[in-house]
Amino acid sequence: MKEAINPPKSSTPKAFLLSLILLSLFYLIFLSLQPKNSNSRNRNITINDLRIRPGYTSYDAYINHQLHKTTDPKLRKIWTSRDWDRKIRVFAQFFSQLKQEKLLSNSSKALCVGARMGQEVEALKRVGVNDSIGLDLVPYPPIVIKGDFHHQPFDDKTFDFEFSNVFDHALYPDKFVGEIERTLKPSGICVLHVAVFRRPDKYSANDLYSIEPLKKLFNGSDLIRSRKVDGFGLDTEVVFRKRK
Ligand SMILES: C[S@@+](CC[C@H](N)C(=O)[O-])C[C@H]1O[C@@H](n2cnc3c(N)ncnc32)[C@H](O)[C@@H]1O
């Protein structure tokens, strides 16, 4: 008789287990339905996908490290002889395509940031963009003038077009981008060649793992497009237009 009124001993743990499984399932479904570009996720991408390399004890140490390669006389000879035309031809192809897309024109006032010997400047001139200049820590007159891209020596709203393949050399990526946005005219175009799928060299000051940090840094511009390219160890071209 007593046995008849007692509930079966195993029912409570079973029900508990079942509700636990159901709850976990609901939680997993909830997670998978979250939008992939929610703000909190983007914040994580920005932090995780751009890392400043440790090891620079001062700003001078960073500058001296950058100068070490750029001032090497043997390398400078190679860059201005054997490498000269080969690089200009490749840059000219990139710029011709940008002209076809109406992102660059013969009347554009153009700046190449981190231009070293200025092959990209020479390429711009060869495709008809005559008002072009380069900026680098080491000048190469008359096509490359001396300056730090963290503090560009130009007035606000000077250029229609800026190109750079040295984003990875920026110790302060926010200043690098801030200076480009400051010196571009409203509706001006910035084209960056960056490494996302490959690792840049030992002179890089940061590592980029996606273009999400760039989208965050260019907060006064709109992303026009990005595509894969093969540009001297850099694999991705991103194009931004400064807002009016
Ligand atoms: C990998 S080289 C690229 C040179 C050139 N764009 C090319 O493709 O031939 C990087 C260049 O960035 C320059 N650079 C590094 N830090 C810089 C800074 N803070 N301001 C200006 N130029 C810098 C270096 O001097 C060097 O010439």
Residues 6+ apart with CB under 8 A from 165: 114, 120, 192, 193, 194, 231, 232, 234
Asked if pLDDT for residue 12 goes beyond 90, the answer is no
Cβ–ligand 1 contact at 116 (below 6 Å):
yes
Ligand 1 atom at minimal distance to the Cα of residue 150: 19
Q: Which of 85, 90, 111, 116 to mutate to test the pocket of ligand 1 (most atoms within 8 A of CB)?
A: 116
Residue 181 lies in a domain: yes
* Digit-coded pLDDT (tens) for 23-76: 767 666 554 444 333 333 333 444 579 999 998 999 999 999 999 999 999 999
Assess whether 25 and 138 both reside in one domain: no
Assess whether 73 and 176 both reside in one domain: yes
Ligand 1 atom at minimal distance to the Cα of residue 165: 6
Assess whether 38 and 59 both reside in one domain: no
Residue 112 lies in a domain: yes
Cβ–ligand 1 contact at 138 (below 6 Å):
yes
DSSP string over 176-195: HHHHHHHHEEEEEEEEEEE-
Q: Which domain holds residue 163?
A: 53-242
> Structurally, how many domains does the chain consist of?
2
Range 142-159 average pLDDT: 98
Ligand 1 atom at minimal distance to the Cα of residue 149: 20
Assess whether 22 and 59 both reside in one domain: no
pLDDT at 27: 63
Cβ–ligand 1 contact at 163 (below 6 Å):
no
Would you say the pTM of this structure is higher than 0.85?
no
Assess whether 217 and 103 both reside in one domain: yes
Q: Which of 93, 166, 177, 204 to mutate to test the pocket of ligand 1 (most atoms within 8 A of CB)?
A: 166
Backbone angles phi, psi at 51, to 5 degrees: -120, 130
Assess whether 16 and 111 both reside in one domain: no
Assess whether 106 and 201 both reside in one domain: yes
Residue 145 lies in a domain: yes
Assess whether 66 and 100 both reside in one domain: yes
Do 69 and 203 contact (CB within 8 A), yes or no?
Answer: yes
Assess whether 19 and 72 both reside in one domain: no
Q: Determine the Cα–Cα distance for residues 232 and 62; give it in Å rounded to an integer.
A: 23
Assess whether 61 and 128 both reside in one domain: yes
Residue 48 lies in a domain: no
pLDDT at 16: 67
Assess whether 22 and 60 both reside in one domain: no
3-state secondary structure of 50: strand
Assess whether 108 and 209 both reside in one domain: yes
Residue 19 buriedness (CB in 10 A; 0-12 / 13-18 / 19+) = exposed
Cβ–ligand 1 contact at 193 (below 6 Å):
no
Asked if pLDDT for residue 185 goes beyond 70, the answer is yes
| Closest by Cα among 125, 94, 97, 93 to 109 | 125
* Digit-coded pLDDT (tens) for 53-65: 998 999 999 999 9
Q: What is the CATH number of the domain that holds 128?
A: 3.40.50.150
- Nearest protein Cα to ligand 1, atom 13: 114
Residue 106 lies in a domain: yes
